[in-house]
Amino acid sequence: MSVTAPKGFKASGVAAGLKTSGNLDVALLLNDGPDATAAGVFTANRVKAAPVLWSQQVLKGRAVRAVVLNAGGANACTGPAGFQDTHRTAEHVAAKLGGMGPGQVAVCSTGLIGERLPMANLLSGVDSAVRKLERTGGDDAALAIMTTDTRPKTTVVEGDGWTVGGMAKGAGMLAPAMATMLCVITTDASAGGDALHEALTQACRVTFDRLDSDGCMSTNDTVLLLASGASGVEPTQEELTEAVTKACHDLAQQLLDDAEGHTKKITIEVVGAADEQDAVEVARSIARNNLVKCALFGNDPNWGRILAAVGTTSAQFESDELNVAINGVWVCRGGAAAEDRSKVDLSGENISIVVDLNAGKQTATVWTNDLSHAYVHENSAYSS
Amino acid sequence: MSVTAPKGFKASGVAAGLKTSGNLDVALLLNDGPDATAAGVFTANRVKAAPVLWSQQVLKGRAVRAVVLNAGGANACTGPAGFQDTHRTAEHVAAKLGGMGPGQVAVCSTGLIGERLPMANLLSGVDSAVRKLERTGGDDAALAIMTTDTRPKTTVVEGDGWTVGGMAKGAGMLAPAMATMLCVITTDASAGGDALHEALTQACRVTFDRLDSDGCMSTNDTVLLLASGASGVEPTQEELTEAVTKACHDLAQQLLDDAEGHTKKITIEVVGAADEQDAVEVARSIARNNLVKCALFGNDPNWGRILAAVGTTSAQFESDELNVAINGVWVCRGGAAAEDRSKVDLSGENISIVVDLNAGKQTATVWTNDLSHAYVHENSAYSS
């Protein structure tokens, strides 16, 4: 049910010819209200796609009536003309749906960077999408935003008389800073824009922001949260944040499950840190280390490479007080070899790395993948 | 002739059984003088190998009579016992050679992290190496320090009546900060320790520090510069720095030529930067971007990924003023598509990327490689 699980939302997904495969490629989401509050977080990349620049402006008003999303082209690095394409898309959606201005229409795009969108296709796709809008359209919408994803990502979290739904896409360029590729979360809870913003930023901080598949930050990352208020229930801030975090966590794990060319899912937990920022910095330095990622692809519990990665950070630690466990085996204690590395069983898909900095009590977890032949293959052939 | 090209040096390389292949694995370099001035730069990794900790102390005295190097084990993350192994090695070398204390013996190790060295093998290897020392031993020494290198790296730079020689090893974990894997440079010039230090730090800043093959910083990186004074010539600081830079540049390019699993050598030149630090940050962000590296492996001039990498930096620029050329074709101007990407010929081994930030007049060049199946293969099977 995806984004249409909560009351007050309609969605659709259509094939507009943006993908050469002929698959669904334009998604539309309508918030029927009564409320139209919204919050958004966007990529920290300083090279931002036109739809990101547009939607950032829209979200300043904390009111979104519709979201139009397309795959088959990122509309990034397309200059002023590309921005006008986005503006025109929002105007077209607002005119076709009625009852809203273009300033209440968020736009998201994903696909190849640096090429203009085929606007005739896109706008006629919007027309079809408007006609096909329905209360059960969330699954089609989730299909339409896929690029190299092998499967759609959706989630539903039930509150007490209210619901959170969501969809996301993303399989590469997955090192979001404030957000991941594209993600739309809906709720029929009644909540103001500030409450939504608080819930979304808290949720992203410990979910999408902790996902680092390949260290590459997209130009198009967007996470939107829309509330219709159709349930008539107003949850507390804590309840709202908890439900949104659960939805984001579920979608982030689905992104990890479908990351390009991975054979392993790696959970990196840093404990004993002086502060949370130290813990995140250390975990991310391991997640981004190609030699660590190749070793795990090869089922090699090469903890020396983990220590070499930790050593590149500015976190508080002494190198002779570092402990490392791989899948529960403490292969390194006090910065030197401890339990026999041959005890580590890396044959499964899930790998757990725990690094104890022995410098405090804070912790953080980052999720990543291994670096495989398939990743290289997929990413050396993407635009050709 | 490697490190024995300058007068006043003897060297040797022997097989001590540290490499399972039975190849040469222990190298020894002796400075016969009359001078014994020296300088060194070491890895910025905070997890430092025992030989790095030892040699840093030795170099504080700016006097080095001998350098002993081994492959087949990095002696990193080996705790206090590993440090004692290094100390004992220096003592053994000093005792066998005579005329020096252990505090004048630098030690370098390379190989797998986290395992103790087989000391009986190493010390008997030192005995053989002492016996085999000769004026023409530089080439054997260069062979003995190889790990995954496919060929030795040596250089000779001729001054006016004086000479600089050098050897280096390194093919992976190549993102030196202040140095690269292992490198020893010799000269028969007459130069004080401060002059050597000035020449070496200046040379490393624009050579080894600009090499970023895989973003992974080693625990053992060491570059040593030893002067014998045997030529009787005292070059100016400028002449010395120039010759040492030339030697370092030559060796850095040889490291790049032999980087693990590469199919392309990529030169990233950032121009129009507000300052040199900005230029280096931008060039390095591109050099470390796996999606850019995969694209170039696949002969894909995917400039959008280059802009996405630039956007992650804190350098001064406006995203709509960025220009990018690949192999001389300006595929991006003003942050958007310009010349047709199909004009870019990526069939050769050498790729040039120029990024113009349009924010000033400073420039920097960083060298890197593509990310290939062979890199993944080699680094998923290294310790097994």
- pLDDT value at residue A178: 41
Cα angle, residue A142 at apex, residues A139 and A148 outer, rounded to 5°: 135
CA–CA min distance B139, chain A (Å): 30
Q: Which two tokens stand for residue A102?
A: 């273009």
Cβ neighbors of B170 (< 8 A, separation 6 or more) are: B149, B153, B180, B181, B182, B183, B218, B255
The Cα A55–Cα A87 span in angstroms is: 10
Active-site residues of B: which are they?
Answer: 180
Q: Which residue of A has its CA nearest to B374?
A: A373
Per-residue model confidence as pLDDT tens for chain A (384 residues): 899 999 999 999 999 999 999 999 999 999 999 999 999 888 878 888 999 999 999 999 999 999 999 999 999 889 899 999 999 999 999 999 999 999 999 999 998 888 899 999 999 999 999 999 999 999 999 999 998 888 898 999 999 999 999 998 876 655 655 444 788 899 999 999 999 999 998 988 888 877 777 777 777 888 889 999 999 999 999 999 999 999 988 888 888 888 778 899 999 999 999 999 999 999 999 998 888 999 999 999 999 889 988 988 899 999 899 999 999 999 999 998 999 999 999 999 999 999 999 999 999 998 888 998 888 888 787 543
- pLDDT value at residue B175: 60
A307 and B217 in contact by Cβ < 8 A? Answer: no
Closest Cβ opposite residue A311 in set B45, B82, B303: B45
A291 and B216 in contact by Cβ < 8 A? Answer: yes
Tens digits of residue pLDDT in B298-308: 999 999 889 98
B216 and A308 in contact by Cβ < 8 A? Answer: yes
| Reduced 3-state DSSP string for A133-159 | CECCCHHHHHHHCCCCCCCCEEEEEEC
A303 and B114 in contact by Cβ < 8 A? Answer: yes
The Cα B189–Cα B156 span in angstroms is: 13
Closest Cβ opposite residue A300 in set B74, B297, B380: B380
Closest Cβ opposite residue A113 in set B48, B215, B308: B308
Q: Which residue of A has its CA nearest to B289?
A: A216
Q: Write the CATH number of the domain with boundaries A265-379.
A: 3.10.20.340
CA–CA min distance A117, chain B (Å): 13
- pLDDT value at residue A46: 81
Q: Which chain A residues contact residue B381 at CB under 8 A?
A: 298, 300
List chain B residues with pLDDT less than 70: 171-180, 382-384
- pLDDT value at residue B180: 47
Q: Which residue of B has its CA nearest to A376?
A: B294
Q: Which chain B residues contact residue A300 at CB under 8 A?
A: 380-384
Interface probe, candidates A109, A284, A379, A384, chain B, greatest B C-beta count within 10 A: A379
A336 and B114 in contact by Cβ < 8 A? Answer: yes
Q: Specify binding-site residues of A for substrate.
A: 147, 169, 180, 260, 379, 384
**End-to-end CA gap in chain B:** 34
Q: Which residue of B has its CA nearest to A334?
A: B79
Tens digits of residue pLDDT in A23-72: 999 999 999 999 999 998 888 788 889 999 999 999 999 999 999 999 99
Say what the ipTM of the complex is.
Answer: 0.77
Interface probe, candidates A53, A216, A288, A358, chain B, greatest B C-beta count within 10 A: A216
Closest Cβ opposite residue A335 in set B79, B380, B382: B79
Active-site residues of A: which are they?
Answer: 180
How many angstroms separate the Cα of A383 from the Cα of each of A76, A105, A265, B302, B303?
A: 14, 29, 26, 7, 11
Q: Which residue of A has its CA nearest to B307?
A: A47
Question: Alpha helix (H) ranges present in A107-236?
Answer: 119-132, 138-144, 193-206
The Cα A269–Cα A367 span in angstroms is: 9
Interface probe, candidates A43, A296, A375, A376, chain B, greatest B C-beta count within 10 A: A376
Closest Cβ opposite residue B379 in set A177, A294, A322: A294
Domain ranges of chain A: 2-257, 265-379
Q: Is B379 annotated as a binding residue?
A: yes
The Cα B69–Cα B64 span in angstroms is: 14
- pLDDT value at residue A180: 47
B217 and A311 in contact by Cβ < 8 A? Answer: yes
The Cα A147–Cα A9 span in angstroms is: 24
Cβ neighbors of B187 (< 8 A, separation 6 or more) are: B6, B159, B162, B163, B164, B165, B225, B226, B227, B228, B240, B243, B244
CA–CA min distance A237, chain B (Å): 33
A115 and B337 in contact by Cβ < 8 A? Answer: yes
CA–CA min distance A43, chain B (Å): 10
The Cα A36–Cα A90 span in angstroms is: 16
Q: Which chain B residues contact residue A77 at CB under 8 A?
A: 303-304, 307, 319, 332, 335-337
Nearest to A196 by CA among A57, A4, A59, A38: A38
CA–CA min distance A371, chain B (Å): 7
Q: Which chain B residues contact residue A294 at CB under 8 A?
A: 375-376, 379-380
CA–CA min distance A289, chain B (Å): 6
The Cα A101–Cα A120 span in angstroms is: 21
Closest Cβ opposite residue B304 in set A114, A299, A304: A114
DSSP state of A83: H
Cis omega (within 30 of 0) for bond into B34 = yes
Q: Which chain B residues contact residue A326 at CB under 8 A?
A: none
Cβ neighbors of B286 (< 8 A, separation 6 or more) are: B268, B292, B306, B309, B310, B353, B355, B366, B368
Number of inter-chain CB pairs under 8 A, A vs B:
220
Other Cβ atoms closer than 10 A to B161: 11
Torsion angle of the four alpha carbons B296, B302, B303, B305, in this order, in degrees rounded to the nearest 10: -90
Instruction: Assign 3-state DSSP to chain B and report helix, strand, coil percentages, each to 5.
Output: 35, 25, 40
Which CATH fold topology does B2-257 show?
L-amino peptidase D-ALA esterase/amidase (3.60.70)
